[in-house]
Amino acid sequence: MHRINEAASDSARARNLTHRLYRYPASMSPMITRALIEKYSNRGDLLLDPFCGGGTSAVEALGLGRKIICSDISPFACFITRAKATPLHNKNIEKFCDWIQKETVILEKYKPQNPIPLEVNGKQYAPLTYSTILKLIRDTENISNANTRRLAKIVVLNVARRSIDGRSKIIPYYLVSNVFKRVSQEVIADIRKCCNGARPDEHYFFERDSLKVINCDAKRLANRLSEFKNKIRLVVTSPPYPGVHVLYNRWQVHGRRETDLPFRLLGYNSSRAASFYTLGTRNSHEASENYQDQMGRVLSSIYELMAPGAVFAQVIAFPKNDGHHITEYERLMKNTGFKPLQPNLMKIQRSVPNRKWYTQIDKNKKQPIEHIFLNRKA
């Protein structure tokens, strides 16, 4: 347990493997994920993350020689997970670098003709910048290899994010090329580092059947993965936090005006409300009732897939740390059939710095608190 406690106290951003390729909102700590996988599974074991988000568990599990099934209700999350956890062989890395070089030359002289504005809540923004980003995402379709094309889209997503998301002013189109260069250099450096082997125990190139990613509601996993019932040796995940609203499917433009641009850039349906991805709403009372009902069904589905004695490790936070929400969640786990590993080892707390959450929290609480729950299938 010392390793897990040590990982929980580490607030540094991960820089190994492919974690930096895309910063997904409210991602699990790679250090905690790695410690949990090492502690509660062995090489070759089959793992499950029913809320895979930004692919942290996939990257760590595969790097440690495990097999993993990753699922998420968001197609965007599944895309990010595949991009981070699918190996790119040297010849495709070179093709990716060629594409980057070609696009860099084009961008330096590019000015959109008949620009299209970004529309957010009936207002229009930055037609030249937006059109430049649309041009980049279209150009990724010229890449024949699916894994290489996916990585190129990750670059464009990061360029769009740095140019638009959370900015009081969207950067002008003629600076997009500078952002593209910086993002590309970072991505290439990370990919090359992985392929060269960052550490002896990290296996970036893994067996073809080591990763399975499915776009699925966690409540339906037992049906979707019926062939894996009683075979999962470890579940490691971070479910949506009850009463805590995180912008999983949107970016913000000009002072919290929310846009579904990340979904649109990848061609995904973006009509779902934010509550679809968080098992609740921003209203704390309504969220609590809805969350308890939905999460109960999720836990039952996961329980069916787990092998007897398998561990369920999860990182979760609550809108208030008054004990009420924690007790409710413990009761929910117990009613599903889960047992704590040991009474004093069931949960570990950690403060989470630099995290954007929207929730009703105590005024005196400086940082949100995450809890690590450790349970076992009876």
HSE-CB at 44 with a 13 A cutoff on CA atoms is 0
pLDDT per residue over 209-245, tens digit each?
A: 799 999 999 999 999 999 999 999 999 999 988 776 6
Share of the chain above pLDDT 70, in %: 82
Cβ neighbours of residue 212 closer than 8 Å, sequence gap 6 or more: 68, 69, 70
Q: Please, are residues 176 and 132 in contact by the beta-carbon 8 Å criterion?
A: yes
**∠124-128-134 over CA atoms, to 5°?**
90
More confident residue, 31 or 364: 31
Q: Is 60 exceeded by the pLDDT of residue 365?
A: no
For the chain, list the strands marked E by DSSP: 46-49, 67-72, 118-120, 123-125, 211-215, 232-237, 251-253, 257-259, 306-317, 338-340, 347-351, 369-377
Q: Is 70 exceeded by the pLDDT of residue 362?
A: no
pLDDT per residue over 278-336, tens digit each?
A: 887 555 555 667 888 999 999 999 999 999 999 999 998 887 766 788 888 999 999 99
pTM: 0.90
pLDDT per residue over 107-161, tens digit each?
A: 999 999 999 999 998 999 999 999 999 999 999 999 999 999 999 999 999 999 9
What is the pLDDT at residue 26? 75
More confident residue, 195 or 75: 75
- Rg from Cα positions in the chain: 21
Which regions of the chain carry the CATH code 3.40.50.150? Answer: 2-86+206-377
What is the pLDDT at residue 100? 97
What is the pLDDT at residue 370? 84
Share of the chain above pLDDT 90, in %: 60
Place of tokens 């308890």: 292
What's the chain's length in residues?
A: 378
What is the pLDDT at residue 201? 47
Q: Is 80 exceeded by the pLDDT of residue 348?
A: no
Cα–Cα distance between 197 and 192 in angstroms, integer? Answer: 9
224-239 burial, b at 16+ Cβ within 10 Å, e below that, comes to: bbeebeeebbbbbbbb
**Cα dist from 2 to 7, 8, 56, 340, whole Å:** 9, 10, 21, 18
Range 2-86+206-377: architecture per CATH: 3-Layer(aba) Sandwich (3.40)
278-307 burial, b at 16+ Cβ within 10 Å, e below that, comes to: bbbbeebeebbebbbebbebbbebbbbbbb
